Structure 1
Amino acid sequence: MMQNAMAPFGLALRDYFKGNKEAITYIVRDDGHRDEMKIAPYFRNKADFSEMELFALQKAKGKVLDLGAGTGVHTLELQKSNLEVDALDISVQACEIMISRGVKKAICGSIYDQKQTQRYDTILSLGRSIGFVGDLKGMRKFLQYAKSIMKEKGQILFDSSDIRSSKDPIHVKYRQNNVQNGRYFGEIRFQIEFQGKLGDMFHMLQIDPKTLQTLCDEVGLHLEVIFRGDRGSYLAKITRK
């Protein structure tokens, strides 16, 4: 389950929040590649936001669903703009921290667990947290579901990346292995490690704009890339056709 996969990350967030400002986790990919991931950036302020994040927050409107809200860094800024925000995260610790930091409505769980009676003007997912969909089938499922809870003139805003921009031989080989094994090149399988303990393996998707366009067409949505960043990153705006 995703909760078990994210458990080490939640514990790291709590450790940092309680005072360990040096807290770090590790991303352990299924090919053995290991990257350090510091926790401090998950508590950053608006002054530390990227240009893409700031642009996305400016585009948010109406009633907002913040997916993968984490510690509430984006929700808190949207609240300052007097927007009504539902902040959703699968991590219990993240939700507890959000509430402690002033998030007005934190929802703990998966987007698919919610009995949705709400309709949203903006469905927002930043920090590439849209990757929780796992694979292309999961992205199609998400787009269909998001369409069902989005208002007629609503929008989905999320960032992702075309990982083919990386020419690092280790990452190139990983992409090639994906394709050879019948998977989309942007599917990444890894575990999160904190203080020597590993969470369950889970899949994370980074999708290129052309492939995302194909999926949007299939479910009757319109895609517009409204911001391009470095290393293949981009911000997608998705609306009804």
Structure 2
Amino acid sequence: MEANGSPGPRIGDAFGLQLSDAVRLRRPVTAFVERSDGLIVPSGSAQWLNGEQEWPSAVRDALARAQGPVLDVGAGSGRHGAFLARRSMHVTALDTSALALGICRDAGVQETVRGDVTELEHRMRGREPFRTVLFLGNNVGLLGSVSRGTDILRQVHAITSADALIIAEGRRPVGGTADNDAYAERNLARGGLPGELVMRLRYGTTATDWFPYLFCGPEELERIAGAAGWRLCDVQDFRYPGAPSDAPLLSYTAVLRKHDGDG
């Protein structure tokens, strides 16, 4: 209960509900991201409905490097995994949302696993090693922080083949407003990265649990990944279709190659 005695949102699969409505209605629907300092901003769903011809060329270029078997982490609607499944690759989708995983199966993804990104090694134990792991759809954000991210990527290292690639999408943090600058300063004061967030998604009267999320540039990603046995080997900056041509280049794809030791 909130301090004034009124009920707060129901805790549940707000992401899955938003995604399901967008797919059912065949149009974008809006949820809201609530940050731990109280900032609330809209979160649309148009990207889940876009066909591959509408994806940024940087995403298509990165996906062209994929080899199966593939693990799609935080798969959401399964659009990237289904694209690869249509190209005769075996794809496993991982997501915390049962509703999202149902949509993945409908899209053609062969296998789904419900679980959190921090449980990768446990959830994938005993399977054939993956050759490609996707963190697309800005899922670099799931790394959350330096220590959490390094642990997650160490788990990815443990479940992948010697020649494995991670194909990821990240977004640099946005400053320039008093709220964002103050949030970044608090992160830096406690030794974190400026783009570390604690947030939840709210859709209608449903909210997810609070979870960590990370906006970071390729240099910070390289630091996180290097400690976990991954080398950053390619970065492409891009804007999403429809963005103004003079908008800052915040989004990027990153390809990371597995390595052992310093060689």
TM-score by length of 2: 0.81
* Distance in 2 of aligned mates of 1:26 and 1:71: 18
2:202 alignment counterpart: 193
- The answer for the alignment partner of 2:106 in structure 1 is 100
- The runs of 5 or more residues in structure 2 that have no matched partner are 1-9, 240-248
**Which residue identity does 1:98 align to in structure 2?**
C
Tell me whether 1:79 sits opposite 2:100 in the alignment: no
1:144-198 deviation line (CA, Å, top 9, x unaligned) = 111111111111111112315x434432332122212332212011121111333
| 1:211 equivalenced with 2:217 (yes/no) | no
Aligned runs of 1:1-241 on 2, under 5 Å? 7-19=13-25, 21-111=27-117, 112=119, 113-117=122-126, 118-163=128-173, 166-230=175-239, 231-241=249-259
Amino acid aligned to 1:149? I
Structure 1: stretches of 5+ with no match in the other structure:
none
SS in 2 for 1:163: coil
AA aligned opposite 1:193: R
Whole-angstrom distance in 1 between the partners of 2:59 and 2:81:
12
Q: How many Å apart are 1:72 and its aligned residue? A: 1.0
The separation in 1 between residues aligned to 2:109 and 2:227, in whole angstroms, is 36
Q: Which has the larger share of helix?
A: 1
TM-score after normalising by structure 1: 0.88
Q: Which amino acid aligns with 2:36?
A: D
Residue 3 of structure 2 is matched in structure 1 by none
Give the count of matched residue pairs.
237
**Alpha-carbon distance in 1 for matches of 2:11, 2:198:** 11
* Higher CA-based Rg: 2
Deviation, structure 1 residue 238: 1.7
Question: 1:130 and 1:211, CA in 2 relative to 1: closer, same or farther beyond 3 A?
Answer: closer
Check 1:237–1:22 CA distance in 2 against 1; reply closer, same or farther (3 A cut): closer
**Post-superposition offset of 1:58:** 1.0
Structure 1 CA distance, aligned partners of 2:46 and 2:224?
35
Counterparts of 1:124 and 1:20, CA distance in 2: 25
Over residues 45-64 of structure 1, what are the superposed CA-to-partner deviations in whole Å (9 max), with x where a residue is unaligned?
Answer: 11221122111211112311
Aligned amino acid, residue 61 of structure 1: Q
Q: Once superposed, what is the RMSD of the aligned Cα atoms? A: 2.2
Q: Give the aligned partner of residue 245 of structure 2.
A: none
